[in-house]
Amino acid sequence: MAVFGSLAMLFFYDFQAGIIAAAVLAPLALVNARFAKQSRRLNRGLNDQIEREVRTLERGSPFAVQRHFRLLSRWKVALSDAQSTTWFLTEAATIVALVFILVDFTAGAAGAVTAGAIYAVIAYTYDYLEGLDDVPHVVNNLVRVRDIRARL
């Protein structure tokens, strides 16, 4: 919710800053849609492996137990890597947006900008971009819950 409130306030303080901030949403939507597909596949594999855990442990074979946990860690690492890549792309896009917003806001006003307005734009931009940082985590959790719900 803070993302939308911060975006609205950016539009209020400086319309172009709002446009720049909103422009970040399109590439982030594409990146997170791609991540959602990866996450779906990786969570399915991880959950399949977790479902095999009881049978594997009941067998008691040290080789089977070791293999199970090795596979489990591979699924988790792959999921973490995909989320990290998505987070990196999100961070890169938000940093570029922040630079553009600051340059546009300070250069466009040519001395008419007050310190309070600059602080407000920076604060709302920070809140907005910080909210976007959580999107990959939220996407992964939604995909995980959907996979678990489908199994039930």
134-146 pLDDT, tens digit each: 899 999 999 999 9
What pLDDT sits at residue 45? Answer: 95
CATH topology of domain 2-151: ABC transporter transmembrane region fold (1.20.1560)
Prediction pTM value: 0.81
* Residue-range domain boundaries for the chain: 2-151
Task: Measure the CA–CA gap between 39 and 143, rounded to whole angstroms.
Answer: 7
**Is the Cβ–Cβ distance between 105 and 125 less than 8 Å?**
no
3-state secondary structure of 61: coil
Structure confidence by residue, pLDDT tens digits, 1-55: 678 898 898 898 888 888 999 999 999 999 999 999 999 999 999 999 999 998 9
3-state secondary structure of 35: helix
What pLDDT sits at residue 105? Answer: 75
Whether pLDDT at 106 is above 80: no
Whether pLDDT at 130 is above 90: no
Structure confidence by residue, pLDDT tens digits, 59-91: 889 999 999 999 999 999 999 999 999 999 988
